[in-house]
């Protein structure tokens, strides 16, 4: 008879810390007014996907580690009951880095020293099995268990080699010749007592300081490798990709109950798409948007109140609230800040960004539906 490994029972209250205090500089100008974890993604704030995933894995209580635009989080997410969770908020006066933020958030945890605590970066979409990562952590009685993903271009990241038992052996900085294509995916299970020994109030990086320190001290740091969907939405290209993938159904999110998903487009409340317009590629058309006849919008994210004029072409772009795009304008991989206007006939390509409120002339914006 084969003996099954004994997996310790989960604590009654499973807690998670979500790191959401970063400034999201790579996503400017979108993050000037809204922190990255609250940007609308497939029609809901980005964090809704992570909160729903955490709840589905058995998490009951979440500590949000905030810093940049901290007040917006509680205004948007409240006490968490909409997600079947209790959410509490901890704010850093000055950003403490990933390790310092986790240590600072620990003051609000209820978990016992030996209990597992999940830590998530607030900008990752992942289809991996969080409950299985927790089980591995408990089975191995690890200090920390890290989700690892395989990427085709590991030279762009630091890589994380493991031994034959799955124990992490090092955290290697970026190098042109990485020894593995596995990288840190930004989702950890910590033994709570391991968080408590991080120095309080000091800027600390888990990747550069805490994890290598644990390995040097001979602690069990496990890798949980996985090949399911994974995306860090930190850049405009990845942000648009993540939203489109959710709408197209390439990644299932328990936060998406909207009709129309999966589909070529997700049209939110009060938006109008002219029957002679073409909207494809998992585009989100935000609440109250208007897309006129002959316009083509592919694989893009339109926040609320955007207007796209007749015959305009928009692809792989993200348009902030209230943006106006004139007739026949062309946008390709563009990032347009809230309230900006692109006049008829302009072309913005190759990652161009317009800051909020910019009025790109010289001609005025025309719409065929204007009176």
* Site residues (vs ligand GTP, CB under 6 A): 19-26, 36-37, 65, 67, 92, 95-98, 101, 121-123, 234
| 8 Å CB contact between 235 and 26 | yes
Least distance (Å) between residue 27 CB and ligand GTP: 6
The string of DSSP letters for 306-352 reads -EE-TT-EEES-EE-TT-EE-TT-EEES-EE-TT-EE-TT-EE-TT-
Closer residue to ligand GTP in complex, CB, 115/121? 121
Nearest residue (beta carbon) to ligand GTP = 22
Residue among 36 and 341 whose Cβ is closer to ligand GTP: 36
* Least distance to ligand GTP, CB of residue 367, Å: 34
Closer residue to ligand GTP in complex, CB, 120/330: 120
How would DSSP label each residue in 54-69?
A: HHHTTEEEEEEEE-TT
For residue 66, the minimal CB distance to ligand GTP (Å) is 6
d(CA 15, CA 63): 8
Q: How far is the CB of 310 from ligand GTP (least distance, A)?
A: 35
Contacts of residue 162, defined as CB under 8 A and 6 or more positions apart, other chains included, come to 148, 168, 169, 180, 182, 223, 225
DSSP secondary structure letter of residue 26: G
Among residues 208 and 250, whose Cβ is nearest to ligand GTP? 208
Nearer to ligand GTP, 49 or 307 (CB): 49
Report the nearest approach of ligand GTP to the CB of residue 50 (Å).
10
DSSP state at residue 276 = T
Q: What span, in angstroms and rounded, lies between the C-alpha atoms of 172 and 261?
A: 40
Nearest distance, CB of residue 64 and ligand GTP, angstroms = 8
Distances, alpha carbon 117 to alpha carbons 89, 238, 241, in Å: 16, 28, 30
227 cis-preceded (ω within 30 degrees of 0) = no
Q: For residues 62 and 268, which CB has a smaller minimum distance to ligand GTP in the complex? A: 62
Residue 285, Cα to own-chain centre: how many angstroms? 19
């Amino acid at each position: 008879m084969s003996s099954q490994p004994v997996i310790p029972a989960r604590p009654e209250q499973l807690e998670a810390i979500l790191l959401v205090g970063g400034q999201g500089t790579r996503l400017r100008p979108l993050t000037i007014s809204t922190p990255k974890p609250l940007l609308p993604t497939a029609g809901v704030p980005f964090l809704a996907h992570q909160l729903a995933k955490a709840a589905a894995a058995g998490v009951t209580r979440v500590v949000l580690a905030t810093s940049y635009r901290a007040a917006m989080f509680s205004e948007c997410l409240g006490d968490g009951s909409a997600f079947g969770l209790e959410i509490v908020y901890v704010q850093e006066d000055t950003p403490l880095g990933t390790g310092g933020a986790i240590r600072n958030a620990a003051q609000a945890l209820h978990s016992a020293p030996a209990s597992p605590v999940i830590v998530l970066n607030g900008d990752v979409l992942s289809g991996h099995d969080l409950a299985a990562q927790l089980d591995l952590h408990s089975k191995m009685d690890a200090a920390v268990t890290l989700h690892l993903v395989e990427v085709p271009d590991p030279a762009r990241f630091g890589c994380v080699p493991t031994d034959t038992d799955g124990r992490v052996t090092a955290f290697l900085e970026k190098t042109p010749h990485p020894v593995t294509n596995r990288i840190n995916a930004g989702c950890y299970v910590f033994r709570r007592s391991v968080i408590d020994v991080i120095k309080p109030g000091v800027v600390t990086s888990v990747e550069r300081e805490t994890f290598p320190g644990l390995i040097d001290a001979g602690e069990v740091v496990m890798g949980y490798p996985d090949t399911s969907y994974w995306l860090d939405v930190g850049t405009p290209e990845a942000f648009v990709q993540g939203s489109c993938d959710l709408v197209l159904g390439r990644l299932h999110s328990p936060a998406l109950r909207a009709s129309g998903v999966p589909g070529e487009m997700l049209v939110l409340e009060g938006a109008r798409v002219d029957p002679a317009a073409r909207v494809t590629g998992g585009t989100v058309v935000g609440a109250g948007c208007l897309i006129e006849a002959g316009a083509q919008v592919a694989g893009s994210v339109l926040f609320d109140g955007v207007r796209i004029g007749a015959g305009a072409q928009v692809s792989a772009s993200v348009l902030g609230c209230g943006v106006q795009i004139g007739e026949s304008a062309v946008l390709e991989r563009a990032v347009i800040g809230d309230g900006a206007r692109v006049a008829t006939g302009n072309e913005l390509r190759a990652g161009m960004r317009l800051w909020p409120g910019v009025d790109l002339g010289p001609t005025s914006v025309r719409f065929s539906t204007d009176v």
